């Protein structure tokens, strides 16, 4: 079992990992994970129950870093612990709390492994340099393009059809 985990309101960019005790036997679901975390206000759609056998070759550490964007420096101290887990793990991103302050009280079969910050994306700065971006976005001045032919042509056709109908009605 683990102790209390206090999640502050407005938290973003943190990934929490909990091990599922292999003695639990049956596969664990997101609904069971929510109940075992003691947080009934979680967005179950954001909880991820991972079968660690599915991560062969990448490992849980690689999945956290490459798949979820966890900061490698944050994960490094727990690398061995993470990669030695077997069975299942529950991954809970900050988005599962929907900005609310939540106190988790994990109980068996869950054990808290750690919380890892995501790498903050740094936006590109400066102008984009590309041949496709070269040129001007200025709009041409009024009257600089040829008038459309479709509108007067459509009006002429309507007038001719109306005259034809009128002549037909008068002739009958």
- pLDDT higher than threshold 80 for residue 142: no
Direct distance between the N- and C-terminal alpha carbons of the chain, in angstroms, rounded to an integer: 96
What are the tens digits of pLDDT across the range 66-100? 999 999 999 999 999 999 999 999 999 999 999 89
Going by the DSSP 8-state scheme, the letter that residue 70 receives in this structure is B
pTM here? 0.68
What are the tens digits of pLDDT across the range 99-132? 899 988 898 899 999 999 999 877 767 776 777 7
């Amino acid at each position: 079992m683990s102790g209390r985990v206090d999640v502050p309101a407005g938290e973003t960019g943190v990934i929490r990992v909990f091990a599922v005790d292999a003695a639990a036997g049956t596969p664990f679901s997101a609904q069971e994970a929510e109940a075992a975390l003691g947080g009934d206000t979680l967005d179950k759609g954001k909880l991820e129950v991972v079968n660690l056998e599915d991560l062969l070759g990448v490992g849980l550490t690689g999945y956290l870093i490459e798949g979820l964007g966890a900061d490698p420096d944050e994960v490094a101290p727990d690398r061995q612990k993470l990669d030695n887990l077997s069975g299942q793990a529950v991954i809970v991103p900050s988005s599962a709390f929907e900005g609310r302050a939540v106190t988790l009280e994990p109980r068996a079969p869950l054990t808290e492994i750690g919380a890892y910050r995501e790498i903050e994306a740094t936006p590109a700065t400066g102008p984009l340099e590309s041949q496709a971006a070269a040129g001007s976005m200025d709009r041409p001045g009024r009257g600089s393009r040829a008038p459309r032919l479709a509108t007067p042509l459509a009006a002429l056709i309507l007038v001719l059809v109306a005259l034809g109908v009128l002549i037909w009605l008068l002739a009958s």
